[in-house]
Structure 1
Amino acid sequence: MGEMGGSDSGPVGVSPQRSVLFAQVINAEPRMSFDESGLMQQPGAKGSVGKVFLGDVARAALRSMGTHGPPHFSQEPGFDEQTWNLVCSTEEVEMSISSRHYWGFGLFSRCFLNEIVVEGSLQTRARCAMDIVASLGRNPWEPTRVRAFERATSGSMASHTSSWEGLISVARESMSDDIARMQDSIRKVRGIEEGSEDLLDSAEESLERAREALADNNAPAVDRALSRASGMVLRADPRSDLGSMERDLLGD
């Protein structure tokens, strides 16, 4: 009923250079604008020539990239402000997002899906996928209309699930390795300096927070906890410049 044409490629998760992910849109907000060249702007910005409903998925996808250049609409919305294509990039990754309805003639926000194509290193793509899911707080590959979603994306629900979960698994493994390396660093520093145990205990507590965040697939929280732990280890290690400086300041 009022369905758009299907995707040519279907979902692609873990692959050498490129991932293709499909996501169910739930909320059409935020509403943005764009200028004559197609650059996305805040609503009401000077030079705006049109409006667009970005949607919850695209907003989460752009945030997952971290600091990025201004998104550019390669296909600007017309009468339907929720049908568009945009591209955005960083030094590490390039992302294109398209929005289209796949059932119900696009009368409701839940009639729409986003196709997200990400090119770059596998670790970066995996991190983007994990961040999108964490930001949305739901599984974006679970659609409102299963059969229509499968037809529109040329992919079964099993393939959609595996494409997203495969990337998330890669991201989790990478962060788990980071936690293990930090744990090893703490172990190596223990016993070197008698007065450093409190700092190392604090580092251990931060690692526990990192593990809890990883269990929730909260990658930004993992990063923050690892950063705190790393700082504590550097301060505790008398062989590091930071540790040596701190001891000089304390008069040790």
Structure 2
Amino acid sequence: VRRANASHKFDTVNNLLRGKHFAGPHRVVYLGDVAQACLAQLTNAETPVFEEHPGYNEQRWSLSTTSGDVRVHIASRPYWAWGLLTSGYLNIITLEGPLSDRARLVLDTVSALGHPPWEMVHQRTAERWLSSKLPSQNLKTNERTWRSLLQSARDTIRESIEGMQVRCDQALNEEDANQHEWSGVLRDDLHMARRALSEDNAPGVERALARLEAGLIQMSTAFDSGYVPAPEALHSDGSDVRSM
């Protein structure tokens, strides 16, 4: 954790995580940047339930939630300077579910966070804390776990792009006089998909692949029932790639 503020509340009646505008009985809770980034990437997630309530120490807590087939458990623990500063906390994140879903969540979290979450602010103290509290873990094994899931997500996305490349090549090789008009459009979106992947921007990849899918459908329609002109090639200024 590098930053934390009073951006959320603990619903003391229902044991739920609430936004800062929640007006019911509550206590302030400090989530921290890592936990916020992780929870923000979940799709249609259940409202997180606190298993350990924040009390006088507003940054010591644990909660869990479910999003589809993935269960997420996060615990916030002090490890440096007795937890007097927000950067003196770390998050223990446990993910359960299909590898592809867990890997995608990690990729989106790291991308949204903007810095490697495995890099502790106070590394020596973190190493000692892990040795004492979680002897099966150390900074190196923790980093390898993060990187392994990141690479798994990248490999899956790369396979999707390569599969789309094959489909585009097959469509462009069809013996039809109008197919060449689509070449620039398809290749531009393939380039944008690869560029988004290089920046770990999975939503950007998905948008590019969706445009490619729509283009292939239009091409098929043109081939079967008549001429359908290709749209003008889309030249990106970069905003499409990083709009998240």
* Coarse TM-score class (shorter-chain normalised): 0.7 to 0.9
CA RMSD of aligned residues (A): 2.1
The aligned counterpart of 1:26 is 2
Q: Give the 4+ runs in structure 1 shifted more than 6 A.
A: none
C-alpha offsets along residues 196-246 of structure 1, whole Å, 9 cap, x if unaligned? 43334312211111111111122221222222222212211238xxx868x
1:146/1:122 CA distance change after superposition, 3 Å: same
CA distance in 2, matches of 1:157, 1:166: 14
CA distance in 1, matches of 2:182, 2:85: 54
Q: What SS does the corresponding residue of 2:221 show, helix, strand or coil?
A: coil
- 8 Å Cα contact 2:6/2:20 also seen in 1: no
* The 10-residue stretch of structure 1 (58-67 or 162-171) with the greater mean CA deviation from structure 2: 58-67
The aligned counterpart of 1:227 is 210
1:205/1:29 CA distance change after superposition, 3 Å: farther
The aligned counterpart of 2:126 is 149
- 8 Å Cα contact 1:200/1:232 also seen in 2: no
Number of aligned positions between the proteins: 222
1:30/1:244 CA distance change after superposition, 3 Å: farther
The reply to whether residue 237 of structure 1 matches residue 220 of structure 2 is yes
- 8 Å Cα contact 1:65/1:93 also seen in 2: no
The reply to whether residue 104 of structure 1 matches residue 87 of structure 2 is no
C-alpha offsets along residues 30-68 of structure 1, whole Å, 9 cap, x if unaligned? 521122111111123232321111111011111222231
191, 209, 217: which is aligned to 1:208? 191
Q: What SS does the corresponding residue of 2:194 show, helix, strand or coil?
A: helix
| Structure 1 residues without counterparts, runs of 5 or longer | 1-24
Q: How does 1:157-172 map to 2 (within 5 A)?
A: 157-172=139-154
CA distance in 1, matches of 2:10, 2:75: 16
CA distance in 1, matches of 2:206, 2:228: 29
The aligned counterpart of 2:36 is 59
Structure 1 residue 69: Cα displacement: 1.5
Q: What SS does the corresponding residue of 2:128 show, helix, strand or coil?
A: helix
1:198/1:75 CA distance change after superposition, 3 Å: farther
Structure number with greater CO (CA < 8 Å, separation at least 6) is 1
TM-score by length of 2: 0.84
Q: What SS does the corresponding residue of 1:221 show, helix, strand or coil?
A: helix
Structure 1 residue 29: Cα displacement: 3.0
| Structure 2 residues without counterparts, runs of 5 or longer | 230-244
TM-score by length of 1: 0.81
Q: What amino acid sits opposite 2:172 in the alignment?
A: R
C-alpha offsets along residues 140-196 of structure 1, whole Å, 9 cap, x if unaligned? 101122222123233222212111111111111101100000000101111434334
- 8 Å Cα contact 2:172/2:180 also seen in 1: yes
